[in-house]
Every structure is written in C-alpha cells, then in structure tokens.
Structure 1
C-alpha cells in the first residue's frame, strides 16, 4: 500500500505527519501565497521581475515566463519516514522550454524524457526525476521511497514506518517550468527543516537555468553550490543577455557568499551593435559588483558551442564578447575571470542538443572545473606566485622557466602544488610542469591554453597531448646562465639601449614577428629591454627578450654578420639581466646549431632538447 493510499484513507491518514512546504524551501527569495496552504516560490525579487518584463529587456515575454520557473529551488529536511509525498501543482511547460525540447529531436546526446520534473536526493542517493501529469486545485502527489532497498533487514522486507533511521532529504522542484507546493507528508514521527545556508548566486541564461540536464538536481549551478557547501539561488533566464537594472533589490533579498555570472552566449543569435552591448555589459557587471561588495564575483566568458546547427548571425557582435568581458573584469578588482571555454571539452557529446546546452555529463564537468577554478584562485595571485617560487627553488632543473618567470612577476601562476605548477603568459603559451598525473590533468583542464602549451620535461608530454588535443610537438633546449659573474666582453662595438623610436625598424627586421602580441614590442622598448648594435650610426643588430624573460629576438642584419655582433649583444644582454638580479636564460631549437654554439661559448648550460616541449594544434 503506497503512502498516497494511506492519505486517502481517513483513518490511516491520522497516523501520518506533515509539514508546510513553505517552511522547507531553499533557493527561493520569497513566496507568493495562493491560498489554502499553497505557495509559489520565486527566485527573483519583485523589482527584478519588473525589469525582466520591461521595454529595456530584449525579450520581455520570454524572460517573464522563464523567471517564473523554479530552477534551483528545493525542499530540504530530515525525517524518520520511510516514504514522503510532496503535494505540488506543476504548470505546463512555457513556450521557451518547449522550443528547446523540440530542438532535442535531432540530438543523439539528449537525456531521456521527462526532461524536467521533481527529483530527490536522500542520504546522498539520487532518486529519478518524476513529472506529475495531473491538474486541478488539489494538485498532484509525488511520492518518494526513502529507505534504501539494499539496507532492508531482509530481502523484500521494509522497516516499519517511523522505526527507521533518519534520512536527509532534498526534493528538487522543476527548473524549466513553474510550480506551487503545499505540504510534505510522511509516514514517520518527524519532518524537521534544515537551516538555510549562505548562497551561491548564479546570474545567467538558459545554460544556467538548466537547459537540458534532464533533472533539476543535475544542473551545474546545483552541483557547483553543493561542492562549495552553499545553497544555490539560480537566476538563470533562458534567452537572457546582460541587462542593466535587472539586479534591482537583489542585495536586500540575498546575501551570497559567491556570485557567478554566466551571460553572453545569446548575442550570437541576433544582430547587435557593439556600442550598446558594450555599455550593457559594463553597466551590468558594475551593478553586480556594487550590489555585493563583500562577495567575490566570478564572470565567465562564453562556453564552447558548435555553429553547425545554429550558425552565429553574421551581423552579431558575439565574436567581441569574450574580450569585452575580459576587459571589464580586468578593470574591476572585485571581478574575477573564469574562461568559459575551459569549463567544457569542445565536444557535442557533452551537449543535450549537440551544440550548446549541456546535458547531465556536461553540467557535471562544468561544476567540477568551475569549483576547481574558484577554489584555486581564491588565494591571491601573489600568494600563488610565492608558493611556486618556494616549491621550485630547489629544483627540478626542467621547471626553471616557471621559477624564473615567477621570480620576475611575468605572467600569472595559476596552480602551484607539490605535483604540478602552471604559469600562463597573456597572449602567449602556458608553461606546465608536473609529476602528479591527476593534479596536472585538473590544472590543464581549467587553465591551459588550447593553442600552445610548453611542457617542461618529458614526463607529462603524452598526457598533455591527449588531454588538450595538441598533436604537434617541437622539443627545445633550455639554456641557463648559472654563473653570477658578469661577462663584460671587451669590444669596441657600439651597443645601446633602444628607445620606442626604433619600433618600426626592429619589427621590420625581426624574423618572427608572429611571436609578439599587440603592444609587446613597444613595452619592451619602453622598459629598456632591447639592445641595439650600431655601425656608423646605423642600427645593424638587436637583441631583446620574450614576455617570460627568456633572452631572444637576436637578429644581425645580413650585411653585418660575422663581425661578432651576436656574441657581443647576447653578452651585453646577459650582463643587463645579471645587474638587475635576474638569472639569464633562453630557449633554442635543436636545429639552430649556430645559436647552440654561441650559448656554449658564452658559458650557458645547455639542457637536453627534451627539456622543453612546445605543443600546438598544427605547425
């Protein structure tokens, strides 16, 4: 006999216990009283709802419908009941949800129906999603059996109601439609509410709302909040973009410990003017940072998508959105960047629709990597840099490029743990050193460039290739000047520090201008880091350094070769770095025999050609 049958029996129903669902709600900012004990949970303030339905919104009708959905809202309690029933009224799916469901028809990676409903976590065990189909004033009853069949006293025997152990229960309400709740009924002796936790506030679009994980408990905001030990307030709205004014009143209703902003993907579907979009992005992020000055605000760039089924509108400004978000984050010390493309492998397998909306597997990957990034970057960049220096100061030799770059403050150390260190250079490669395969894999997933990675040493090369899909491998010699003595070559050659006035002349004579990102050469010249050789007042050779500090850019103009310029310039560069308290070093390709001979002549230690591996997608 089911618990629902007990509820219909007047005599037996007196033996049951119940609690108002309103007292058990988490993830809702307020509730609307619908009479006779029914309440509707809302995850947006009344002021926010006005903003979402205003003329400033791109699609006010869609946003109002999506805002009514109960994404991230759940009932949490402890009970000694063996079974519980939730009294619920689930509304029909709004058009925005049905449209996405229709899009799943052509996907091999969509979840099984129902795509949404109520699901339950009991003592860490997940019970499948159920979608009630009835309608009417009394709503529907959704029953969940709480006792684990594997823990029954004997096979096929259940404990008597109320005599079992206490269960910790979460019942997740639908994320893609709205609902109202009345009571939770149990067959035990108690239903006790679990206190509210601090919030993870997620502000986003359909990817945050839960399209289409197939279960409201399996969306990435829910999984991320659980990893962080927080309750989620999910303000994902299908179709949403950055909307100034849409956080009005939120700071009075929520006190988040962390804030995640996931917006920007929807710009690719429509024509849009960069001037307006830029203003909206900057204003929205400023408003969020101002609303929650005590909470770190994590801002994602757009995640991976495929253009095959729904190509980006040719008049869209979407291609400029990632850099716009990055610039806004860099300008506000309260904002912290999460590179969205690194949260998901570029694979249709992780997408319910095959191109944009993550399925349960994709949502789990997003939550895992996002939590890793947030926990890793919770420390200051300076703390991570200092720890890298401490870890690597006594070796190993092949990790020297990270050590010296960290000493110089070049790039940013993202990960500095006993088994792995990762340092990224803006606009350039990522340096990776590791011995712990699992730790290195997690660090690569979250922080490594997908275009160019320099793996230090041989140990992790195969793993990095497989993990990031980087097939082209160019081994390289690491060369280090390990003496502290100045070289001071006696020479009558005229060597000077070059000024920015020589920018065009240096650039036009540099063999590898593709190594330089925008503004990098100008910065090197402004800081006096490029030396030039002169004959009869004319520039005839130069040497500089790369963004990580490695000596490079050595060029001798053809008509001035074999006159000692290479030796004199690199010796002067080594001395310049020594006088600045630095350890001179460089990278030399194995086929550059002349350069290798020069390094040895200057007293550089030349490490084997497998000491560095530059991995890329193609040569």
Structure 2
C-alpha cells in the first residue's frame, strides 16, 4: 500500500471541529470563527475581525487508527512594519489528551501591520501542508490545535485510516471570554495558553472567546456567550477597557451589569465567574491609553507605556485598581441574589510576588512560563476542591 497515494480525505465539518462558533465556507475551504456572523456584522473594527478569526482554542478532533495525519491550511501570518518576522504559528498534536508533536505551516499569506498608523496590508500566499506521522495504529482520540495567533483557513484533512467524530466523553464545556492574555498572546503554542492548560488540568472542553484587544463589554459578545451551550462560564474583564481608554467609571458599572444580565438570559443558573485583571504595573494606578514604544521594535522587541495621568482618575478614567474595586463590588451585590455567581481577583493568577521573577516582557502580556503558572493556578483555585467550577455529585 502506498500511504502517500492512498490517504483518505475527510470533509472538514462541524462534527470534527471544536472551539469555533461559526464556520465560513471560502473559496479555499473553511474559515473557523470564534464569533457568530451576527456579531461580526455589528462591528467593523479591524482588530476584532483579526482576533476572532485567529482560532485560539479551535482544534480538529477525531477518533482514528491513522498513523499519518495531514492538514492543508492557508494561514495568514502577522508581522509588524519595521520589526523582524515573527515565528510561524504552531500546530499542537494531542493524542488521547497528551502532547504528541508540533508542526509549522510554511505557506500562507502575510498581514503587515503598521502600528504607527493602525493600518494593515495583506499579501496572499500558497496553501501549506502540516504533517504528523509515526502515530500508533491503535484507536485513539486525535486533536490538532490550530495556531492561536494566525488566521487559519482549513483546506483538507487526510489520513491513512478512516476518521470519525470523537464520542461524547461527558466532559463539561467551559466557555471563557477575555482579552489578548486569554487569547494567548506570548504563549508558546495553542495548547499551552493559560486557558488551554487550565482546561486540560480541569478535565473540561474549552471554548475560548479570548479576543485580543477586544474584551470591551460589547453587547454582541455578551449575546454570543448567552447563546453558546456551556456548563461553566467565565469572563475576564478590565485590561482592554483601560489600555483602550474606552470607558469612564460612570459607564463601566452599568456596562458590566448589562453584560452579565445578557449572559444570564441564556444561562440563568450556570456557574459564572467574573475574573478581574492580573497585575499590570504600568496600569495599576495610571489610566490608559497604552501606547507602543517603537524605539526597540527594530530589535524585535515591542514595549508598551501608559499614556494617561493618574490625576485623571478623579474624573472617572479607569485604572486596574479602580476596575477591580468596581468588579468586586458588583459581584458581591449581585451574588446576594445569584448564588451561582463568583469573583476571582486576577492577581491570584499573577500578582506582585510574581512580577520580579516573571516580569511581563512587553509590560502587558505574560510570557510562556507565566501562561503555565496562570493555567495551573486557575485550575487549582477554580476547578479544584471548593472552587466555583469544582465537579459536584449529581
């Protein structure tokens, strides 16, 4: 048998894709989206469009005896004007839930972002093939996690044995929304973002709506959470509102209430966890906006600075300290009537004691080691005994 010639092509359909809320048919194949079409139609922001089409937490999942797996993809890689090329996105292979390989896609297009002007330009490129071989011929669950930081169109799936949808294992579905930190910025790979690690340790199925630069209490995001089936829900709120300088305190409180009200319309008794921001020293007591420091961009390093004035908090500008105080107050008040609502101070995941040994490389986003630390701590505090998402007897 010539395995190269006799590989079986399997249609890329929703039953073997996890973590996406919508699949768009394109001229090349399938583009996974993490927001539904109705939500995408309500906002023309380019940052949101890019973030929700980057498939953080999306994986091709199937059961098979195949020893060879090939995935044709058309990625769109992102680079910054004036900076060295970024590393190619990573495809993580998991077999029966355990890491079993990594690969990169050499082809695809390139989106060049000019941070000085906020504009971008995309150059198309060819389809790439990601290949994993030497797998056991035993029946097994296979997952290929797509790059969390590259828009990825799926073109074809080929294997040397038939595939089928993974049987329902009865695992709970965890639906999470947050900023670029939840999206996975600076993580080593898609299966090692902090939500992916926490989900693995907690034994749950992840749907990750971490949207880089776009956790802004948008009503269409709340409706997406409302309408998505889930057993557990968490929302991590704050850093994007500060670094975008989008909202004042007068609007923030009612917007949080409205966001939670919308989620509760679809999930009235689902455990719902509100998580405040992790430590970010530049914005603890200084409002936004965050602005990039381009002085080291040519050396491949991007740093951010806080451009606000601490005195402006008196006029209602938000800092992380203000956000945490307001979130804690809101959750405490609502929890009196909502026993399934919980609060976690984000500094329990990454706080002052951690910053000396694990500083934020660009002053906003954690590195790979900190993603692992955050994932482990979230699993312990939230999925562990006594935590709000702990498994409870029926």
TM-score range, shorter chain: 0.7 to 0.9
Alignment match, 2:305: 310
CA distance in 2, matches of 1:253, 1:198: 17
Matches within 5 A, 1:120-519: 120-123=93-96, 124-134=98-108, 139-147=127-135, 164-187=137-160, 189-195=161-167, 198-247=172-221, 249-250=223-224, 253-271=227-245, 272-307=247-282, 310-311=305-306, 313-314=308-309, 315=312, 316-318=317-319, 319-332=321-334, 333=338, 334-345=340-351, 346-347=354-355, 349-350=357-358, 353-374=361-382, 375-378=384-387
- SS for the counterpart of 1:313 is coil
Alignment match, 2:60: 75
CA distance in 2, matches of 1:211, 1:129: 19
CA distance in 1, matches of 2:237, 2:221: 14
Matches within 5 A, 1:92-103: 92-93=77-78, 98=80
Alignment match, 1:25: 17
- SS for the counterpart of 2:200 is helix
Which deviates further from its counterpart, 16-25 or 267-276?
267-276
Q: Is the 8 A contact 1:80 1:190 kept in 2?
A: yes
CA distance in 2, matches of 1:203, 1:50: 19
Residue by residue over 1:543-567, the C-alpha shift from the partner in whole angstroms, topping out at 9 and shown as x without a partner, is xxxxxxxxxxxxxxxxxxxxxxxxx
**CA separation of 1:201 and 1:350: change in aligned 2, threshold 3 A:** farther
Residue 356 of structure 1: CA displacement?
Answer: 2.5
Residue 208 of structure 1: CA displacement?
Answer: 0.7
Q: Is the 8 A contact 2:226 2:264 kept in 1?
A: no
Residue by residue over 1:122-144, the C-alpha shift from the partner in whole angstroms, topping out at 9 and shown as x without a partner, is 34134234143245787211111
CA distance in 2, matches of 1:377, 1:115: 40
Alignment match, 2:294: none
Residue by residue over 1:482-509, the C-alpha shift from the partner in whole angstroms, topping out at 9 and shown as x without a partner, is xxxxxxxxxxxxxxxxxxxxxxxxxxxx
CA distance in 2, matches of 1:323, 1:285: 17
TM-score (norm 1): 0.50
Residue 180 of structure 1: CA displacement?
Answer: 1.2
**Aligned residue pairs, count:** 337
Structure 1: unaligned runs, 5 residues or longer: 1-5, 54-59, 106-111, 149-163, 384-619
Alignment match, 2:299: none
Give 1:50's match in structure 2, choosing from 25, 41, 44.
41
Residue 281 of structure 1: CA displacement?
Answer: 2.2
Structure 2: unaligned runs, 5 residues or longer: 110-123, 283-302
CA distance in 1, matches of 2:105, 2:140: 23
TM-score (norm 2): 0.76
- SS for the counterpart of 1:214 is coil
Residue 275 of structure 1: CA displacement?
Answer: 0.9
> Which one has more relative contact order, counting CA pairs under 8 Å at least 6 apart?
2
Cα RMSD over matched residues?
3.1
Residue by residue over 1:276-316, the C-alpha shift from the partner in whole angstroms, topping out at 9 and shown as x without a partner, is 22222222222223332131111111101232952362244
Matches within 5 A, 1:545-564: none
